[in-house]
Structure 1
Amino acid sequence: MAFMLLAMPAAQAQLPDFTTLVEESAPAVVNISTRQNVSSKGSAGGFHQLPELEGLPPIFREFFERSLPMPREPQGRNRGQQREAQSLGSGFIISEDGYILTNNHVIADADEIIVRLADRSELQAKLVGTDPRTDVALLKVEGKNLPTVKLGKAKDLKVGEWVLAIGSPFGFDHSVTSGIVSAKGRNLPNDNYVPFIQTDVAINPGNSGGPLFNLDGEVVGINSQIFTRSGGFMGLSFAIPMEVALDVSDQLKASGKVDRGWLGVVIQEVNKDLAESFGLDKPAGALVAQVLEKGPAAKGGLQVGDVILSIDDHPVIMSADLPHLVGAVKPGKTIKLQVMRDGSRKTLKVKVGALPNEGEEMSLAGDKSSASASNRLGIVVGDLTPEQKKAIDLQGGVVIQEVQDGPAAMIGLRAGDVITHLNNQVIDSAKTFAKIAQELPSDKSLSMRVLRQGRASFITFKLAK
């Protein structure tokens, strides 16, 4: 017991003191509210419901006002009339003349944006620009000699380091919470361009858009999302690295939009079986499942089946590393890609293009065909007609007309799928497919490239002896 009593003061002395940091930094943290005229039609009891993300058992949620009650509809008002909705979020001032960073989802679709400063004064903000892909927004208020935060770099953070958040959870201005960096470079579903900082800092609705500080009082991230099954904090919160936010901010300030690098490929993760089938020592890299016609990758010689291992000597460990590495490259710059092709490493030089606007990406679409041939995989396939090849922009491939009992059914193939590669070999006809299928080895990881509804992916399977 005596040992425990002696040890406690030493342990307590090692805990950080945040008081000076908060005193110096809190004045530059602001509360953000928005007003939006929305139709009351379809609202239940005056509350706005956030639907769960389809297909994702764990929910990554943009976590501010969407889960808060909205103003109730006045008695006697007819459905379909307009009412005013308010929301709460956070932000922070990055320049003395009034530039403010926050999340895009805090101010999305707002008709009016009000910024409340630490002294309780309110200013109307102008929206300079937004970038939904990184969830960053830049605001501007009129002012001089405004308090500002110090800006730091997320790349200097270490896992286990103390960090602190200041924001307005549930409207409680300038609430302070602390924790540690749990991980760096996290990739979340539908967020391809942000390598998130993961922390265990308590974050709740209203913290969104607020700053994440290191112990030097520097902002290293923007609190953006939480992992939750309940709608509240569950110990996992995610922040946008400051380097990403500042790059977006600079571009928004200069031109009102953000340009990103783009290769024009569809990629997928390399698992253990795929790594074995492509001659890799261990799972790593991004497997190219589709190369879009006339895109930068196609012009640079990238091929379906290549595994991208690095970009300008930056390793691609997970496939999700590729989008934010390429996205950070300025369009027009030539990069060096190291790829694994046919069991050997190869270096390619590719001139990066500009990422198209959402909905403008080049795509492929598939259809069914006629002739058929049987094979040991348990499927009936047919050649593509010239019209079908032109429609889906393919030189070869076969379409699945029927899936019987067998390996194909077990790995989820469907009628209408188009197979373009089998065991790393190009399929140019049903005859070629049947020959390759007949010669497939047993008890070895094999790969197959399948095109379904315009999306291509590699799948792996094994044939029993």
Structure 2
Amino acid sequence: MTDTNQPPRRRPLARRRLALLGSVAVIGAGVILAGPLAGQMSTSAFAATPTAQSEQGPRGFADLVSKVKPAVISVRVRIDGASEANMLSRDGEDPGVQPFMNGSPFEKFFRQYGDNDGPQPRQHQMITGLGSGFFISADGYAVTNNHVVDHAKSVEVTTDDGQTYTAKVIGTDPKTDLALIKVEGNHTFAHVDFETQMPRIGDWVVAVGNPYGLGGTVTAGIVSAEGRDIGNGPYDDYIQIDAPINKGNSGGPTFDVNGNVVGVNTAIYSPSGGSVGIGFDIPAATAKQVIAQLKDHGAVTRAWLGVQVQPVTGGIAESLGMKNSAGALVDEAKPDTPAAQAGIQAGDVITAVNGNAIKDSRSLAREISGMSPGSSVKLDILRKGEAKTINVTLATMPGEQKQANAGEHDNGAVPGVPHLGLSVAPADQVAGAGSKGVVITAVDPDGPGAEHGLKSGDVILDVGGKSVGSVSDLRNALSAAKSDGKHDVLIRVKTADNTHFVAVPIG
């Protein structure tokens, strides 16, 4: 969802305080330039005299801004408000038009500028939103955010010289929040290229954008961090910058000292909706790959392994006898998937893909999704302490993955497995629990099990790599782990349709 022309006052977010730069109050065309740069200083000259530059500081960004500013555009979209009913914007606010939630930003907006009673349930409202973008080709292909053009009925772009053109959406990718648009007609535009290397932490950045609809605004800062996970999805790998960016900067580019794009503005961290110096960019490597597929096919096709994984925590690493808490722990290899067909098992730890080290589950997701369906990859895994290499032929990722969440149950303090503070029963004796494992029927709220997220209704499938089907099986497995000197035991748990591992202390 994009910003309105007159963005309403935003209420503080109760949880993450993350705001996509184009929702309800979009942030606008932004361009970011990284590097201590200035003037006509070359990259090689800069690298050769870091001490001198550090002492002198940046000489200014005027030359660089004049070079890249013509490629930055403002993106204006019109959206049928009725089609946006009950949708949540990417920053957690509810911009629905039919019906309005009490206290929603649009309710306040329409009460102030429209009907005092707000819009009627079946009334159609055309909402205008503003965002940003940048040309990547002379014939009018431009990059912006998916949330800027999502559900747009029409798209217009305004260039730096004030000219306005009609554009059409070529393709979008909600998973990375990227979109490709193209100006209609035969025109020639200034454009920019993607950088092939990541910027360094500490590099200067310059943002040129359309905050609050002002247009052509330039701000400066540095690259603050890399590899940020903001909870947006499995492919989160954002560049964090402190160049001030605000509503209206969504979809704007980030450049290095040579005028190449290193990132695309997407989100900010903000208690109030305005900049507090924490912004997030999609890396150029990700954007380049996604945009290429959108241009060729109008959509993104990702490779798929077919595993449910989780990060390797310190407790899990200790229970598996690993020296480092790195890799992706396989909770389950889904049936009839490349992983299952290749023999990957629950409890395997994937440590590398084609020789590239896997740091965590997000790292695995990014590595696999960047490959082509049908390609063959080598997975390095640890299975019960033994290193193995498995060849897997990847498939095409299904369009939708149905996720199920476990229902909430009342917790009781019933002894049964004193080590964990759990009461259990064989799964085949509990309706709907299946035929394998033991069902948790009650949880001591002060016990280790509750502390590590185990709930009534969860099914324990195995403990320490040993299958359990009764209370005695569970107790014996826990006793064996303790006798082996384990401080933590690894438990595989089924919750609704998903499985995962939990490392629970038993010492």
Q: TM-score, normalised by structure 2?
A: 0.77
User: What does residue 92 of structure 1 align with?
Assistant: 134
Choose from 416, 431, 437 the match for 1:397.
Answer: 437
CA contact (8 A) 1:379 1:402 kept: yes
User: What does residue 452 of structure 1 align with?
Assistant: 495
Residues 310 and 69 of structure 1, relative CA distance in 2, 3 Å threshold: farther
Amino acid at match of 1:322: L
Residues 411 and 196 of structure 1, relative CA distance in 2, 3 Å threshold: closer
Residues 387 and 357 of structure 1, relative CA distance in 2, 3 Å threshold: farther
**Counterpart-to-counterpart distance in 2, 1:41 and 1:28:** 31
Q: Does 1:315 align with 2:357?
A: yes
User: What does residue 24 of structure 1 align with?
Assistant: 67
CA-CA distance at 1:205 after TM superposition? 0.7
Choose from 402, 423, 427 the match for 1:380.
Answer: 423
CA-CA distance at 1:400 after TM superposition? 1.6
**Counterpart-to-counterpart distance in 1, 2:379 and 2:429:** 34
Which range is displaced more, 435-444 or 451-460? 435-444
**Counterpart-to-counterpart distance in 2, 1:42 and 1:52:** 13
CA contact (8 A) 1:228 1:234 kept: yes
User: What does residue 109 of structure 1 align with?
Assistant: 151
Q: Does 1:296 align with 2:358?
A: no
User: What does residue 159 of structure 1 align with?
Assistant: 201
What is the SS of the residue equivalent to 2:366? helix
User: What does residue 435 of structure 1 align with?
Assistant: 476
CA-CA distance at 1:440 after TM superposition? 3.3
Structure 1 unaligned runs (5+)?
Answer: 1-8, 54-64
**Counterpart-to-counterpart distance in 2, 1:366 and 1:232:** 37
Residues 248 and 426 of structure 1, relative CA distance in 2, 3 Å threshold: same
The C-alpha deviation readout for 1:250-287, integer Å capped at 9, x for no partner, is: 21122211101111112112111111111111211111
CA contact (8 A) 1:68 1:205 kept: no
Amino acid at match of 1:432: D
The C-alpha deviation readout for 1:174-206, integer Å capped at 9, x for no partner, is: 211122222222222132224211111211111
CA-CA distance at 1:130 after TM superposition? 0.4
Which range is displaced more, 90-99 or 144-153? 144-153
User: What does residue 279 of structure 2 align with?
Assistant: 237
What is the SS of the residue equivalent to 2:460? strand
The C-alpha deviation readout for 1:429-457, integer Å capped at 9, x for no partner, is: 54432321333316612211111122322
Amino acid at match of 1:185: G
Amino acid at match of 1:241: P
Choose from 406, 410, 418 the match for 2:459.
Answer: 418
Q: Does 1:131 align with 2:173?
A: yes
Amino acid at match of 1:89: G
Identity across matched positions, percent: 35
What is the SS of the residue equivalent to 1:294? coil
CA contact (8 A) 1:374 1:434 kept: no
CA-CA distance at 1:376 after TM superposition? 3.5
The C-alpha deviation readout for 1:67-122, integer Å capped at 9, x for no partner, is: 99679325688623222211111001111111111000001111111111112111
Choose from 170, 173, 176 the match for 2:212.
Answer: 170
CA-CA distance at 1:324 after TM superposition? 0.9
Structure 2 unaligned runs (5+)?
Answer: 1-51, 95-104, 410-414
What is the SS of the residue equivalent to 2:501? strand
CA contact (8 A) 1:160 1:180 kept: yes
**Counterpart-to-counterpart distance in 1, 2:460 and 2:454:** 10
CA contact (8 A) 1:398 1:430 kept: yes
Query: Which has the bigger relative contact order, CA under 8 A and spacing at least 6?
Result: 2
Correspondence 1:351-390 to 2 at 5 A:
351-359=393-401, 374-377=416-419, 378-385=421-428
Residues 336 and 366 of structure 1, relative CA distance in 2, 3 Å threshold: farther
Aligned length: 434
Q: Does 1:338 align with 2:380?
A: yes
User: What does residue 327 of structure 2 align with?
Assistant: 285
CA contact (8 A) 1:417 1:451 kept: yes
Q: Give 1 or 2: higher strand fraction.
A: 1
CA-CA distance at 1:332 after TM superposition? 0.7
CA contact (8 A) 2:427 2:469 kept: no
Residues 453 and 228 of structure 1, relative CA distance in 2, 3 Å threshold: farther
**Counterpart-to-counterpart distance in 1, 2:318 and 2:348:** 14
Choose from 206, 227, 235 the match for 2:248.
Answer: 206
What is the SS of the residue equivalent to 2:189? coil
Residues 276 and 10 of structure 1, relative CA distance in 2, 3 Å threshold: closer
Q: CA RMSD in A?
A: 3.3
Choose from 241, 248, 257 the match for 2:290.
Answer: 248
**Counterpart-to-counterpart distance in 2, 1:194 and 1:67:** 32
User: What does residue 6 of structure 1 align with?
Assistant: none
User: What does residue 181 of structure 1 align with?
Assistant: 223
Amino acid at match of 1:51: G
Which range is displaced more, 85-94 or 413-422? 413-422
Amino acid at match of 2:158: R
Q: TM-score, normalised by structure 1?
A: 0.84
**Counterpart-to-counterpart distance in 2, 1:107 and 1:67:** 22
Residues 66 and 31 of structure 1, relative CA distance in 2, 3 Å threshold: farther
